[in-house]
Amino acid sequence: MKTVTIKHAQTHLSRLVEEAANGEAFVIAKDGKAMVQVMPLPVDEKPVSKTKRRAGFLKGQATVPDDFNSMFAKEIEEMFYGEPK
């Protein structure tokens, strides 16, 4: 496993992270002492299911009231402006 200095890691972080993601772990050292080890995350072996969304699959199972855009308008006005006179 290779060891790099902090300065080298700062300068080449993108490349080092890419290498680690491809399985090449490395150690970052400060003053010759190993500080951290960078290694790839374990890969989930199960493929992610990418099911397509189907538009309209709940059609007919819900209804929208005709006054949907003005529902509770009176109550909202009363909250903002107080009781009507």
Residues 17-56: pLDDT tens digits? 999 989 899 999 999 999 999 998 887 666 666 777 788 8
SS3 11: helix
pLDDT band, residue 59 (cuts 50/70/90): confident
Task: Tally helices (H) and strands (E) across the chain.
Answer: 3, 3
Q: Is the pTM of this model over 0.75?
A: no
- Domain region containing 34: 2-38
Q: Which of the pair, 46 or 67, is modelled with greater confidence? A: 67
Q: What is the pLDDT of residue 43?
A: 75
**Count of domains for the chain:** 1
Q: Note whether residue 33 is domain-resident.
A: yes
Q: What is the DSSP letter of 22?
A: T
Task: Kindly report the length of the chain.
Answer: 85
Q: Note whether residue 48 is domain-resident.
A: no
Q: What is the pLDDT of residue 48?
A: 63
Q: Note whether residue 22 is domain-resident.
A: yes
Q: What is the pLDDT of residue 10?
A: 95
